[in-house]
Chains A and B, each alone.
Chain A
């Protein structure tokens, strides 16, 4: 019976350590998905949360100033706008353009702007060029045809 105790103890220790690492890993890197309207309604105490917010880049709103990039994203159907300041070190992704769906990771500031440390632009096409995703798609010659 003794050997089973040994196995049991070893396995428990390994799984315990891993569980602890996993829990601390989750706490360190967890990011809340919020919509723009949810963000606006957050209590000030929640400002320290890391948040991922998604919205469409308002055409013409992208401004470069020094290393920072400012732009505005809007939530579809809610007419909610959020101004985002991006100060991360990586250049913006290729897919980040007017109308692209942008995903910003960062924290809300007390002044109502959003400071993003990372931007991912969900390429309107994803990896797959899909019609109707904000990307200009050549329609078939006959314009009123269903294109997909």
Chain B
């Protein structure tokens, strides 16, 4: 069966080449039958990669340890869910997942557009298949998932596998890679349409309309993936934080930043016919960063505490990136005259300008993150000395950018298109500015002097007020006309223009997340070696280790501390941080205990028994205010994104006679 799997990949590779060349030859020599067969080949690639993936999953779930991949990433004692998740637990499997997702998306694109965009589609297919070929080369020749542990002619199975890395045996981590990959891979589709429209000299917005939902859905996947990663780091890694500016984390953040910039700047093209070149550049950059992110995590290019793997595939990626960047640059340059802006910027105080600065800041942030991530390599090349920069660098640049963006989140939606006057601004921002001032004064009086924290909370109040006012104004108008109550009117309002009000909800979620991030300014932590039975005070908590218990099961042995938490002498409850040693890999892992509350988390990590003093346990305590707001904010962002995807009830016509918000296209929901 493993032979069948390898063959499926090999055939998929050939078929993918056929689809690529068939599309191009078909359109250049005008052979519709070739184009048609190329489309079918895309579906064939999907079927073949699905077969290969299915076989790998079958081997994983049935614990067939003849396979090197299964032996290295699964074992008998693991629950079925993690056996399945081992599909993306290692290098070969996760590259196969990449291929599979791309094949799936390509098939969906071909199917949903089978009667539309006939001129553009062959080029879209060619772009998708070009990427597909690259990943299938990796699957078929570089990182083969179906290697068998073979000796001579006989095939030898291991008794049991090593198991999925224990740190990855956590529900969030099990779904984090597919989510993130869905986001990464998803952006290839808008990119492919962008290329299609470039090549066919269709400068219009067809590609943007067609891919608006794709972009949003995949942006949603990326956001979910990143937050899952952060949530996993927080709940599993045991250092009390959720983001450490590690290269691997940065790799996932980079395309998200440019994708966010893209989602904003396409509005400029839709509504004003501006920034056409810029949008091409942004979507291409996002695509390159998606590939680059995969490259960073998969090649060991930058050393990272949690780099996944070191291997030679880096050169393949660099080669692929170089070729695609060259092609895109040439294409954009040769089509510049089709991408002329229809209108010009008129004033610094305008919606256009707020979009411009939004993009500038997001790009600056992306550049800073990229720079910091590859800094060791750059400094090595330039000065011969390898220098790394740490979290202070990233925070120093990105915190002010974040705050500025937060400000724009509040200002942008309220400021008029074209040109705005100071008077109208004063009127629009009277209340939000007052809310900001009150927040800062109240917090200052309460004893908070941290500059960035004050600014952040103030801006959060500012933005939240602008959003609330928008809903209130609209809802009141509807309520007055229809005699509905305000809440129903707000729902009606949202339904009339889902893009706008869904967008506001997303912004509200971002505000909540900023509140959560700002909480980090007030974190407290301590590490103590305390005797079982003794008490220790952290912030306004008092903790007492009641007892230590231990035991084992098939998968791991464990040691668990029962810790009672008190506040003002009152018992709040018991927490059970745990330490496991996984039997197959002999790797110790901490299972932290977190008392999550909206205002503050109490986070305990039991770091084992002391090695110097008997009967002492090593306990790390973190008090993290407001972290829960981040996760809550994420759900608001998620909900807002879903609302944006609902078609608007009312067609809105803009001066540019473009219909925005309603588009009769159904993208098959990937969920």
Contact = CB atoms under 8 A, between A and B. Distances in A.
Contacts, number: 155
B391 interface: yes
A91 B527 contact: yes
B91 interface: yes
A32 B612 contact: no
Interface stretch (B120-128, B150-158, B435-443, B464-472): B150-158
A120 B305 contact: yes
A121 B626 CA distance: 30
Contacts of A17: 400
Contacts of A120: 305
B556 to A, nearest CB: 13
A111 interface: no
Contact of A32 (B309, B361, B387, B529): B387
A78 interface: no
A11 B348 CA distance: 11
B163 interface: yes
B210 interface: no
A141 B389 CA distance: 45
A22 B392 contact: no
A131 B72 CA distance: 8
Nearest to A122: B305
A141 B618 contact: no
Interface string B99-143: 000000000000000000000000000000000000000000000
Contacts of B586: 135-136
- Which of A10, A25, A126 has the most C-beta atoms of chain B within 10 angstroms of its own C-beta? A25
A140 interface: yes
Interface string A115-148: 0000010110111111100011110111011011
Contact of B392 (A14, A18, A29): A29
A32 B385 contact: yes
Nearest to A66: B612
A33 B608 CA distance: 31
A25 B585 contact: no
Contacts of B71: 140
Interface in B582-600: 584-590
Nearest to A89: B527
A18 B160 CA distance: 54
A122 B309 CA distance: 12
Interface string A60-103: 00001111000000000000000000000111001100000001
Contacts of A14: 357, 360-361, 364, 404
Contacts of A103: 305
Contacts of A138: 158-160, 162, 584
B388 A52 contact: yes
A32 B373 CA distance: 15
B239 A90 contact: yes
B-side binding surface: helix, strand, loop or mixed? mixed
Given A7-B348, A29-B391, A33-B376, A123 B587 contact: yes
A128 B388 contact: no
B612 A22 contact: no
Given A29-B389, A129-B585, A142-B151, A22 B371 contact: yes
Given A128-B308, A128-B309, A28 B392 contact: yes
B346 interface: yes
Contacts of B149: 140, 145, 147
A135 to B, nearest CB: 7
Nearest to B605: A91
Contact of B390 (A10, A15, A29, A136): A29
Contacts of A7: 345, 348, 353, 356
A31 B618 CA distance: 29
B364 A95 contact: no
Nearest to B91: A128
A94 B165 CA distance: 13
Contacts of A137: 162
Interface in B553-600: 584-590
B452 interface: no
Contacts of B160: 138
B587 A94 contact: yes
B387 A142 contact: no
Interface string A1-38: 00100110011001101100110111011111100000
Given A17-B400, A137-B162, A129 B72 contact: yes
Contacts of A89: 526-527
Contacts of A135: 585-587
B566 to A, nearest CB: 24
A117 to B, nearest CB: 12
12 contacts: A7-B345, A7-B353, A18-B401, A28-B392, A91-B527, A103-B305, A126-B308, A128-B89, A129-B73, A135-B586, A141-B156, A141-B157
Given A18-B364, A140-B149, 9 more contacts: A11-B360, A28-B396, A33-B386, A64-B612, A126-B307, A128-B165, A135-B585, A137-B162, A148-B72
**Which 6 pairs, one residue from A and one from B, show the smallest C-beta to C-beta distance?**
A25-B393, A25-B396, A33-B386, A91-B607, A29-B392, A29-B390
